[in-house]
Structure 1
Amino acid sequence: MDRNSEKNQFRGIIPPMITPLLNEDELDFEGLGKLINHIVVGGVHGIFILGTTGESTSLPYPIRHRLVEETCNLVKKRVPILVGITDTAVSESLKLAQTAKYSGASALVAAPPYYFNLGQPELIEYYEYLADRLPLPLFLYNMPSHTKINIEPETVKKLSEHENIIGLKDSSGNTAYFNKLLFHMKDDPGFSLFVGPEEIMAETVLLGGHGGVNGGANMFPELYVKLYDAAVTGDIKKVRELHALVMNISAGLYSLGKFGSSYLKGLKCALHLLGICNDYMSSPLNKFRKEEKSRLVVNLEEIQKKLQASKILTQNKKKDQ
């Protein structure tokens, strides 16, 4: 694969899609269809399923495979689909990769296998072993808060030499780390570098990053696309305006209650209130209780007013109709 060719380069906003569920063992198929259409018509550049925001590690294996199949079927090649295959067992990652390939996905994403604290040489061995056997290109996924392993910039540089490893998604929230990645990879423009936390997406793009895998784009995709476009063109005034809206979303929807999963609870609850999909969460997580939900209703209404004032929400509604 020539990752430097234009058709193979990944750029822009690729939402980490939530997984709509009815219960522990059943997808919310109606909600899945609504969510995918809502995201795609919002102008995103791809969809990432089975990541942290998709509760991937909590889902039964049959649900993971079914989600891949149904998502690819519903998207119908309108945008590229990236599939998370993170697992502690390589065989399970490879099985899911095959489902992704047969279903029509474009690329795969894998964080380091959690539990064993791999050193950097072991991490290189693991990813090379995995990439050699994958039927699709692979994105590295740096998520040290969940895996307890940081993929060091030097390790990324080494792994980028593998022809089947084409990029990295960084969810560390560490801008110093991301800047080091940009420095180490400056001579390899075909290697895509994405950031997860939406609060720093615009600044990383301004510095040379390739886009964001931002959870808020599940709710308001056009906002994040416009922010990305403003950063790419260097429109600082527009970046400041739209970034302020993103920070309102972060403060109002992701920080309610004293939960380690407040971000995901808030995101799923908001999507439910917007009439898009169910807010059921796979164990060990649970959806917001009445108190947090009531506060989120108020905050969501305020955010919608601000988006309407910026003519973003109105445009999204027109596109969805």
Structure 2
Amino acid sequence: MNIEAFSRCKYRAVDRQGDDVPFILPGIAIGLFDGATDAKGTLINSTPAGRMAALNAAECVAQLLAPTENRKLPARELVNKLSTLYAKSFEKHSVSPLPATTLALAIDCGENWRFFCLGDSGIRINGSEILRHTKLIDDVSTFARVALFRDQSKRLPDLDSAEMAARRAIFLGFDDAVEKGIMGRELADNIITKTIVGLSLQNEGAIVRDFLTAGICMQYRFANEVGNSLCYDVLADGTPQIGDWVDAWRPKEDVQTIEVFSDGYAKLPDNPTVAAWEAAFEESDRQDFHRISEYATVKGGTEDEFFDDRTVVIIQCPRIQPT
């Protein structure tokens, strides 16, 4: 087995830590964790909350999967046990709500690989089969942020300023943005309405409005909850409720390459190498630097930051002859 890994924080000057954590335990599991960037910059023992989430999750997974029998637990039981360990890992910090993280793992189960994803980090098998779950609440944030960016880019002197204004509004909420003079109430209402209509969410318009006015900083209210289409599963407070995880098994003899990647890679390459992944990233950055068109997402790039942290872990598997 050959393993190649690359992780780059979002800060171009590399003067702060990112929230991605690669995970490599040969013979047990290989993958990554992508902690949710804290909208208010919360630190836990001088570590960004999102990074702490990813680090703690990595320790919990290592503990849980060390016994071989745990690697074959039913998905619900696996998630429940991991959620319990994760909550315990934060007890000494008195943190509420718990920071959130995704996970994507290739778990070694003897004759089989088990591929498990919770959140929007993904796995590609043999360069073609993609395992990944996306969530609607991110589409809402993206739609609204792109609309606000386009407006701000006409009003502000440069695109970096437009990005930071739009990002602040999405993360801290439209109510805060109106109060701070970033946008007017009429513009806020217009963008919210366009988002609801554009994503065909008229039946849940009040929920979308509540989310956008409060911002991503309050997104935890939808994590591991049920009751509306913005709810989603993640490793955070509580236990995933919806079952929005990916759990797939493949015989090792059928798997030649495994690529585990965070959402900092918007464009997937043709070849399973770090060089190819980085080339694909650079191409997407040239095509849509501010992430408002082909690769639209919750944040865009600036002179100081890439649009997100990015991590990829690649496994070139030994050829196994069927018995």
- TM-score, normalised by the number of residues in structure 1: 0.26
Tell me which structure has the larger Cα radius of gyration: 2
- Which is strand-richer, 1 or 2? 2
- Which is helix-richer, 1 or 2? 1
Q: Which has the higher contact order (CA 8 A, sep 6+)?
A: 2
